[in-house]
Structure 1
């Protein structure tokens, strides 16, 4: 049986989450907008409970949780939704980084076509951006700073707390794409200087197809976002359409479990990482990014003389791993993240990402290392 080691792409689902989804698909299947009978009222109550569970994880309020189809849609709303406000107030400058997910970079490219100026900050050789470079890029007309929490390819955590400190005296909005670290690095996202947080349920052992954009108020000031779609007025007008109650319930329970169990989960993942690094040592791998600034459940590395595609093919049927972002794998090209970190072309072509979780079974690394060793030219 192939061992799944691609949890940064998507995680397995927790049994408790799965059971709750099935219940709300087969028994409590009401529409949360139906106010005239108990099925609708039960669904509405379940949705509100899920909002509370998600909000509690990041120290937000129930009404600040907006449900979306996932972090990609959340990122689009957070970025493109500010376009009208930026034009009206002559704030057309945005700061982000060269290592963002395409779900951030491509909306930024669309705004650039509309006359916005985008400053993309490069990471250092360890894979994270220096907070001072963000501060140095700030201008009076800076509308938004959008920085990912953890990189999906390398697992490197960005210094979100220190960046938030640099923004304290500036009115710019601060958006964090937290798809990879939501429910894993909990204290960071509780920082009230973060205005918007994007997350997906399927990265924390929940279902695919549901996510959130958490939008914090500044006192009584509402975030000036314009919806990208219209019709129905759900989710405070930002995400129209019938709420997928079963998925929302699953997301809520996944968030609750993350809050309860994140310390134990992280410890399990750290132990797995140490065993993996020890097993790889004879192959003299180059690990991309500083492990002291990384999530406990992921490493990105290359081995001299090994091409990533050849390695994945050789290990097929043994372990399931990747060589980049799952969202762009249908059109594979060299990793823009690793290019931004100024890795050599050989290292980029050989880069492998292994990611796991607390549900991952133990792995016998010896035959895997033997297979890789045979590929070394």
Structure 2
């Protein structure tokens, strides 16, 4: 039986979550926008309960949560939705990093093509930004700082507390892509200096196709976002369309469960990771990145090509060598390139990621397969 080790791409759905989604699809299938009968009222009640469950993850108010199809859409709303504000107030400078997900880099590139100026922060081999570089990059006209909390390829955790401190005396909006950290590393995400948080349900054991954008108010002022889609007044007029009430309810329950078990899940992940590192050390593995999430390990074994390794590992483990969003054709990881790794190390890089549902790793089989390629 193949052991699934690609949880950074997507996680299995918790049974209680799947049961709730099924129940709402089959038995409680009302449209949350329908006001004339109990089916609609019950669906709306389920949505609002989930809104509160999502908000609780980061100590937000439920009115600060809008539901989206996932972190990609949330990122686009947070970034592109600020364009009119930037133009009106002549704040056309954006700061991001070279290791962001394409769902951040491409919307920012779109604004850059339209005349916005973008500073791309460097990372060294650690995979983490230099706070001094962030501070020096800030300008009076800086509108937005957008930084991923936990990198999807390496698991490197950016220093959110220091990032927030660096912006305390600046009015730039701070957007955090928390797809890999929402429900797992919540304490730093509770910082009120963070204006926007993007999350995906399928990274924390909810179904695919649901996510959220947390938009914190500054005092009593709402974030000056404008919609990037049109066709209805749902979700505070920022995200039109019929709400996917079953998926939303499942996402909410997954958030509640994740918060309740976060510490236990981290300890389980650390144990799995330690056992893997012990065995990989014997093969001379190099580990890509520092200050890494316990749920992922990105490593390179000298002279072992990752594409060849994934072929050999089929039937043993399901792994990847980069982001699922760019896996249709192999190109060297922009994240590992930005970290300054050489081509051989990048071509050898493999990402393994797990969750609390991962009972154990097939270490003997793994090591034997790697040895076949050495």
* Alignment TM class, shorter chain as reference: over 0.9
Q: Which residue of 1 aligns with 2:214?
A: 214
Q: Which segments of 5 or more consecutive residues in structure 2 lack a partner in the other structure? A: none
1:328 to 326, 344, 348: 326
SS in structure 1 opposite 2:299?
strand
Q: In structure 2, how many angstroms separate the alpha carbons of the residues matched to 1:34 and 1:332?
A: 46
Q: In structure 2, how many angstroms separate the alpha carbons of the residues matched to 1:325 and 1:310?
A: 17
Q: Is the 8 A contact 1:30 1:42 kept in 2?
A: yes
Deviations 1:91-137 (A, max 9, x none): 00000000000000000110001000000001122111012211110
Q: Is the 8 A contact 1:3 1:361 kept in 2?
A: no
Deviation for aligned residue 1:364: 2.6
Q: Which piece of structure 1 moves more, 130-139 or 339-348?
A: 130-139
Deviation for aligned residue 1:354: 0.3
1:299 to 294, 297, 308: 297
Deviation for aligned residue 1:279: 1.5
Q: Is the 8 A contact 1:30 1:43 kept in 2?
A: yes
Q: Which residue of 2 aligns with 1:22?
A: 22
Q: Is the 8 A contact 1:157 1:295 kept in 2?
A: yes
Q: In structure 2, how many angstroms separate the alpha carbons of the residues matched to 1:24 and 1:303?
A: 47
Q: Is the 8 A contact 2:99 2:338 kept in 1?
A: yes
Q: Which residue of 2 aligns with 1:80?
A: 80
Deviation for aligned residue 1:332: 2.3
Q: Which residue of 1 aligns with 2:106?
A: 106
Q: In structure 1, how many angstroms separate the alpha carbons of the residues matched to 2:60 and 2:329?
A: 37
Q: Which residue of 1 aligns with 2:369?
A: 371
Matched, 1:203 2:203: yes
Deviation for aligned residue 1:212: 0.4
TM-score under structure 1 normalisation? 0.98
Deviation for aligned residue 1:57: 0.7
Matched, 1:340 2:345: no
Q: Which piece of structure 1 moves more, 60-69 or 363-372?
A: 363-372
Deviation for aligned residue 1:281: 1.5
Q: For residues 1-377 of structure 1, what are the structure 2 equivalents within 5 Å?
A: 1-290=1-290, 293-376=291-374
Deviation for aligned residue 1:331: 3.0
Q: In structure 2, how many angstroms separate the alpha carbons of the residues matched to 1:363 and 1:346?
A: 26
Deviations 1:124-170 (A, max 9, x none): 22111012211110000000000000000000100111100000000
Q: Which segments of 5 or more consecutive residues in structure 1 lack a partner in the other structure? A: none
Q: Which piece of structure 1 moves more, 245-254 or 118-127?
A: 118-127
Q: In structure 1, how many angstroms separate the alpha carbons of the residues matched to 2:65 and 2:131?
A: 28
Superposition CA RMSD, Å: 0.6
Q: In structure 2, how many angstroms separate the alpha carbons of the residues matched to 1:304 and 1:363?
A: 22
Q: In structure 2, how many angstroms separate the alpha carbons of the residues matched to 1:132 and 1:78?
A: 25
SS in structure 1 opposite 2:360?
coil
